Amino acid sequence: MNIITRFAPSPTGYLHLGNIRVALYSWLFARNNKGKFFLRIEDTDIKRYNKKYVDNIFYLLDWLGLYWDNNVYFQSKNIDLYNYYIDLLLNKGLAYKCYCSYERLINIRKKCILSKIKPKYDGYCRNKNLNYKNIKYVVRFKNLLSDNVKFKDLIFGKLNFKNKELDDFIIKRSNGLPTYNFCVVIDDNEMLITDIIRGSEHINNTPKQINLLKSLNFKKPRYIHLPIILDKYKKKLSKRNYTYNINNYIDNGYLPNTLISYLLKLGIYNNNLEINDINKLKSIFNFNNINKSPCIIDDNKIIILNKYYINNIGYNSLIYYIKPFFLDKNINMNKINNIYKIFFVILERIYFLYQIVDFYILINNNNFKLDLNVLNKFNLKYNIIIKIFIKKFNKLYFWSIQNIKYIINNYVNKNNLKNKYIYSLLRYILIGKRHGIDLFKIIFILNKKEVLLRLNNCCKI
């Protein structure tokens, strides 16, 4: 059987880690089985729809490298198809028009709650075959009254729902639009989806969808419901919470490999797994390894993974990913001639891409003001010391970290000075900061000309 999976987001907000996990697993399951992966935009919720969300879905899938097959499938372009099937069900007597007023439905609900039973429609219009003109109605599916709906979920195992607990749920709203559960069934059949991978919050929808597809003689797909994903406060992720929003990760300097690797590890029993090779992680991914208990996001793990991938992605890819961060600061990356040196110096210290830009800005800023009091606190004879270093650096022919280190340490030792003070003094003079990045690396990256210039400027104070 050719595996066909789908990712079916609704463009009503920005995607978060949980959404992307569904996309990733669906994509990977299809790819690992030489199947197909489709993208379906569930855009029938006109009130909350926004085109910017649709564009962002394309952008994020592209950023993650989760490319889909064929054209994008838009639910809004299929209203005729949904209506065709709704009419079919009505004609076969498998669905009916319900004219119950809003007040009546509210009353039923109240009664159910009072008698402590799960609220559901009482079937008032079910066998009346009502058909009025010019009165608003909804179409309800005639759900079975007896028997059970059984299905086997690849992660949650055998599941069983009693039909009598299911509602005669609405398949067409009074505004004429089909409902979520209905569209999903029609679309999945139309797209020949073999495996439905989605969050476990959809488990309760599944028996309704199975009853619907049976009544339409559709083939039943396999179901894979992913365990719930929680934030560090054990709360469900929401599209409104910006923290776990994928755009937020991008803005904060995360790499796609970081998120992919984290989400894949999240799905593997032993998520402390020391494998970081993305291809290896992809190849060992398997639904059988997924635990059905909820996953809690560990922010620190994601940060540590990001550091790993920043250091291992390779300089060329890194240039690609940091470009937007430079652009954001109005810096044209093409004009930076020592970017590889910057990588070499900074990468082992950083966790986020934007820190590369921060470092670049720091060392290229020669506009900072040195404070005489600060300089004097270091050493009253700082001027003499600086002049000595100007001479020594001037004579240095091969500008390497090794040689720079030798010059400075040699001077410190011969004069019985504390290296901490000299390092701090030089760092302050060169970049205006007393602490932080390794002094030898700063001198190395600034280059001879700039170092001599900044040291000379200091002597003029």
322 near Zn ion (CB under 5 A) = no
Alpha-carbon Rg of the chain, whole angstroms?
32
Query: At closest approach, how far in Å is the CB of 173 from Zn ion?
Result: 14
Q: Which is nearer to Zn ion, 172 or 427 (CB)?
A: 172
331 near Zn ion (CB under 5 A) = no
Q: Which is nearer to Zn ion, 100 or 396 (CB)?
A: 100
Phi–psi pair at 264, nearest 5 degrees? -70, -40
Q: Which is nearer to Zn ion, 132 or 398 (CB)?
A: 132
Residues 228-257 that bind Zn ion (CB under 5 A): none
The helix (H) or strand (E) run that includes residue 148 is: strand 148-153
Tell me how far apart the alpha carbons of residues 270 and 138 are, in angstroms, rounded to a whole number.
Answer: 49
98 near Zn ion (CB under 5 A) = yes
Q: Which is nearer to Zn ion, 90 or 422 (CB)?
A: 90
* Non-local CB neighbours of 409 within 8 Å, separated by 6+ positions: 419
159 near Zn ion (CB under 5 A) = no
Query: At closest approach, how far in Å is the CB of 125 from Zn ion?
Result: 3
Query: At closest approach, how far in Å is the CB of 60 from Zn ion?
Result: 42
Count Cα neighbours of 362 within 13 Å in the Cβ-side half-sphere: 22
Query: At closest approach, how far in Å is the CB of 324 from Zn ion?
Result: 54
* Non-local CB neighbours of 97 within 8 Å, separated by 6+ positions: 90, 125, 130, 131, 137, 138, 139, 140
* Non-local CB neighbours of 269 within 8 Å, separated by 6+ positions: 289, 290, 291
4 near Zn ion (CB under 5 A) = no
Token pair belonging to 111: 């009664």
139 near Zn ion (CB under 5 A) = no
Query: At closest approach, how far in Å is the CB of 304 from Zn ion?
Result: 57
Q: Which is nearer to Zn ion, 141 or 325 (CB)?
A: 141
Query: At closest approach, how far in Å is the CB of 126 from Zn ion?
Result: 8
Q: Are 186 and 161 in contact (CB under 8 A)?
A: no
Q: Which is nearer to Zn ion, 98 or 149 (CB)?
A: 98
Residues 104-133 that bind Zn ion (CB under 5 A): 124-125
Q: Which is nearer to Zn ion, 105 or 275 (CB)?
A: 105
39 near Zn ion (CB under 5 A) = no
Query: At closest approach, how far in Å is the CB of 179 from Zn ion?
Result: 16
100 near Zn ion (CB under 5 A) = yes
Following DSSP, what letter does each residue of 361-399 receive, concatenated?
A: HHHH---PPPPHHHHHHH-TTHHHHHHHHHHHHHH--S-
Question: Which 8-state DSSP code applies to residue 17?
Answer: H
DSSP SS3 for 423: helix
Q: Which residues bind Zn ion (CB under 5 A)?
A: 98, 100, 124-125
